[in-house]
Amino acid sequence: MTRALCLALALTTAPGPLLAQDGRIPRKWLMAGVGALVTGAMATVYALAFEQDIGGCSKATCVIPVSVVLGGGIGYMIGKEMDDLYAVRYSHAPPLKLRGRELSLTMVPNDVVVHDSTVLVTGTEGVEVVRAGPTLDRLGLRARGLRGIGDVAADNGRNLLLVGSAVGLYRFPLLGDDPGTLAYPGEISALSADGSRLLLGLGLEVQLARIGDSVEAVGTPMAEDARVVDVAWQGNQMAWVLTEERLAAYGLVGDSLVFRGAMPFPVLARRVSIADSVALVSAGSGGLYALDIRNPAAPAEITNWSGARFVYDAAMRNGIAYVAGGPEGLYVLRLTAAGFEAVGLSRGVGFVAAVEAGPDAIYLLDRTGLALRRLDPQPE
């Protein structure tokens, strides 16, 4: 009996080999110890209360060790399940706790865009405008009632909010309650604004436009073989167009888009994020691609990371990639010469459907928790 109790105690307190590499005590040993202690204690109480021998394993010398072994065994099995779950959850990155602030939303959010000091959250009820910063001040709900909202863009200087939808491009004041107007009819599958220039994804085409008192198409639209899902400007002269099948570079010559080069993907691409000379392409089950885009004529794959089951979105800040993994949470990766190196996985941020790097922090959407979260960036 004494030996069994000692063993149980030893299991719970044993250092060194019983610790996992990340410093976590394997729960199978912990729970085995707890189980052994609890059942051992109960058996001891029983043995002290009933001293007579009624046959079978009713003596203290039998009851206590058997109980300890049984309790330890059950605890071990429970703990092993916990360890296995832990291993499944964190198979591609260790746990990571992120600090930040949360803003509850009144709608199911779809996407987040950060422009200067403004965070735009699109969702089922419109566009929630939030001031970027530690306090996440709510500035108002725009485009109320508009359904099928896709991409959005903003221009603080012009007090302009552009909202793409399945019906057309709508124009709203960024601040103020004035209603919006239809600026460009037709399906808008993606959009990106850069000053007075606007890049529009029109389903299977991409169109350059100019923003003035109205939105006017400039030049002829460029046809793509697959649906345009995202667009992004790089500097003044380069636009990147992501279709479901490829990332294409278009140079700006006068008022025309000129195709420069493209990088195809074997899976459906979803979002693109440009950070200096690197493009991050979120490719769903295909993982996350990092592309070297210094030569637009020949964008080259740097690395592909497929740790997440499905990459919904990604953003990069100071060499750190933040990957929206949906129900898995937020993966944090460091881009090195050897590829992506997992920094950690934060599971406490809900169903991360979109992520965006702001000038001061990382912003992400929790779709099931209906929240916008602002995270303090990770050190480089």
Partner 1 sequence: MTGLRNPPVLVTGLLAALALALASPGGAAAQEADDAVARAIRLVADANQMALRGDTAAALARLEQATKLAPNLSDAHYRRGMLLAHQAGNEMTDMFKRRAAGAALERAIRIERGNPSYYLELGRLRLKQGLGRLGAQRMFDLALNAARQRGDAAVIAETEAELGDIYHRRFQALDHRRLMTNDASQFDPDEAINNPHYAKDFLTQRTSEIEDSGELDLRRAEAHYRSGATAWPGHDRANAGLLGILLDEQRIEEFHEQARRFMAAAPKNPRAQLFLGLGLWRMGRAAEATRAFDRGLAGLTPGERSRLTNLSAILRRSDAEDYQGLTAAQRAEFDRIYWAAGDPLRLTPENEHLLEHLARAAYADLRFSAPELHLRGWDTDRGVIYMRYGPPPVVASFAPQTDRRSTDPAAVGKITTVWFYPERNLRFVFYGPPGYNFARFAGEFQAYVEDTRYQMPVKYDNVPVNEAMDSISVQVAAFRGTRTTDSTELVFFAGLPLARMAEGVDLIEGPIEHGLFITDPLERDVKVERRQETVRFHSESQLEQRTFTSALPAGEYRFRVEARQPTTRRAARGANRLEVDDFARSSLMLSDVVMADRVAPRLEVPTGHRDFLIDPNPAMRYTPGGEVHLLWEMYNLTADSLSSVWYDAEIVLRVQSIERRGFAARIVGGVLDAVGTTAEGDDQVSVRYEVRETLGNRDRLPGWVAVDLEDAPLGTYVLELVITDRISGQSALRRRVFTVSDIDQ
What does the binding site for partner 1 look like in residue numbers (CB under 8 A)?
81, 84-85, 88-89, 126, 142-148, 165, 167-168, 170, 172, 177, 179-182, 267-268, 270, 284-285, 309-310, 312, 326-327, 351, 368
CB of 329 to partner 1, least distance (A): 13
Residue 6 has phi, psi (to 5 degrees) of -60, -40
CB of 5 to partner 1, least distance (A): 31
CB of 330 to partner 1, least distance (A): 16
Burial class (CB in 10 A: 0-12, 13-18, 19+), 318: exposed
Cβ closest to partner 1, residue 168 vs residue 358: 168
Cβ closest to partner 1, residue 43 vs residue 183: 183
Q: Is there a contact between 27 and 20 (Cβ–Cβ < 8 Å)?
A: no
At 317, list the tokens: 């800040």
| Residue 157, C-beta contacts closer than 8 angstroms, at least 6 positions apart | none
Cβ closest to partner 1, residue 133 vs residue 140: 140
| Residue 279, C-beta contacts closer than 8 angstroms, at least 6 positions apart | 232, 240, 247, 272, 273, 289, 290, 291, 293, 299
Cβ closest to partner 1, residue 259 vs residue 310: 310
Strand partners, 171: 162, 181
Closest CA to 128 of 105, 145, 147, 151: 105
CB of 373 to partner 1, least distance (A): 19
Cβ closest to partner 1, residue 81 vs residue 255: 81
